[in-house]
Amino acid sequence: MKDIHISNKANRRQFLKAGSALAASATLLPFGTTRLFGASKSGNREVSIPTVALNNGIKMPILGFGTNTLVNDIGINAVADAISLGFRLIDTATVYGNEQFVGQGIKKSGIDRKELFITSKLWVDDSGFESTKKAFQTSLDKLQTDYLDLYLIHRPRGDVKGTWLAMEALYKEGRIRAIGLSNFEPHQIKELMTYAKVNPIVNQIETHVFFQEIEAYNTLPGMNIQHEAWSPLAEGRNGIFTNKTLASIGKKYGKNNAQVSLRWHFQRGIVAIPRSKNKAHMMENLNIFDFELSDEDLQTISTLDLNKTQFPEWS
């Protein structure tokens, strides 16, 4: 399995080629094949999820599992199911109120902690140096782990500087493997860079076929920051699952709209974290590495961009 590091536009082209090679080598391999990151059983097959190399050299799966709104037994079982099917990147946040359920789901899965890539996020109410350290420890306790793979500032509000300095301290202590941002616009990242000693590693932002975030897509690689998509399926909004353009593309490959959408993220080198409480959907979302969207398909999908959020209530 090739790690794919995307730091500029030229490398994105190489990434697409690498993505093609991955597709050609068929990620769905016969049961029993020894796999690298993300090896797991899915039906009678195994799914292996490619990774991207982040700017500090660590590897992050390019496809992960979102957990917003997944709570209680549904949340526990969804996380355990997702891991059993092959997801290794699990995305949660303090404000989702589900870190304890995510932690229980991980425990239920029986997976070795070292195989997982766990992300959580610092909520606005906890911003500031000391409160970030406290909130971080609370997240660890709820998740039943002693480190995070990725910790993000959830929104660019509150005492961002104090928060970032606390995250840098935790990162330097080895308690977080990567630190980053969420919902930061390019000018807000530049502001943070004026005092940051650690380059942010990831920016997680709303990105899907209806809001393609072209500016961030073009800007983040130059800042050496990995683009990660939240709501990669637009949470089902704007009729994404019945969209005729996506359906006609998917028909050529025997894939549905969710799979075409997630493949689009993959071919753009964007980490995507679809959420589902439905095992059949989870499997569909994992099965995106055995086909390739053509340049013409990508061009067609570019016309779906409405260039505006589908979540105006959060702006």
Other C-beta atoms closer than 10 Å to the C-beta of 229 total: 26
CB 278, min distance to ligand NAP, A? 4
Where would I find the H helices in 157-294?
160-172, 186-193, 214-219, 244-253, 257-267, 279-286
Rule CB under 6 A: say whether 222 interacts with ligand NAP: no
Q: Which stretch binds ligand NAP (CB under 6 A): 107-115, 123-131, 213-221, 278-286?
A: 278-286
CB 209, min distance to ligand NAP, A? 11
C-beta closer to ligand NAP: residue 18 or 226: 226
Residue 79 CA to residue 275 CA, distance in Å, equals 10
Q: Which stretch binds ligand NAP (CB under 6 A): 34-42, 53-61, 244-252, 274-282?
A: 274-282
Q: Which of 96, 171, 195, 217 is catalytic?
A: 96
Residue 208's closest CA among 181, 177, 241? 241
Binding mask 115-154 for ligand NAP (x = CB under 6 A): ---------------------------------------x
Among 2, 133, 277, 279, binds ligand NAP (CB under 6 A): 277
Tokens 């990660």, located at residue: 228
Residue 41 CA to residue 44 CA, distance in Å, equals 7
Among 109, 127, 204, 243, binds ligand NAP (CB under 6 A): 204
C-beta closer to ligand NAP: residue 235 or 290: 235
- Separation in Å, CA 33 to CA 26, 27, 40, 88, 110: 12, 11, 10, 18, 20
Among 250, 285, 288, 293, binds ligand NAP (CB under 6 A): 285
* Opening angle at CA 149, ends 48 and 55, nearest 5: 85
CB 32, min distance to ligand NAP, A? 26
Asked if 69 and 277 count as a contact pair (C-beta separation under 8 A), the reply is no
Residue 149 CA to residue 117 CA, distance in Å, equals 5
151 counts as catalytic:
no
* Three-state SS at 187: helix
Residue 260 CA to residue 90 CA, distance in Å, equals 21
CB 236, min distance to ligand NAP, A? 5
* Dihedrals phi, psi of 201, to nearest 5 degrees: -100, -30
C-beta closer to ligand NAP: residue 67 or 267: 67
Rule CB under 6 A: say whether 275 interacts with ligand NAP: yes
Rule CB under 6 A: say whether 62 interacts with ligand NAP: no
C-beta closer to ligand NAP: residue 23 or 82: 82
CB 297, min distance to ligand NAP, A? 18
Question: What order do you get walking across the sheet with 29-30 strand by strand?
Answer: 29-30, 45-46, 41-42
Rule CB under 6 A: say whether 104 interacts with ligand NAP: no
Catalogue the active-site residues: 96
Site for ligand NAP, rule CB under 6 A: 66-68, 91, 154, 182-183, 204, 230-236, 241, 258, 273-278, 281, 284-285
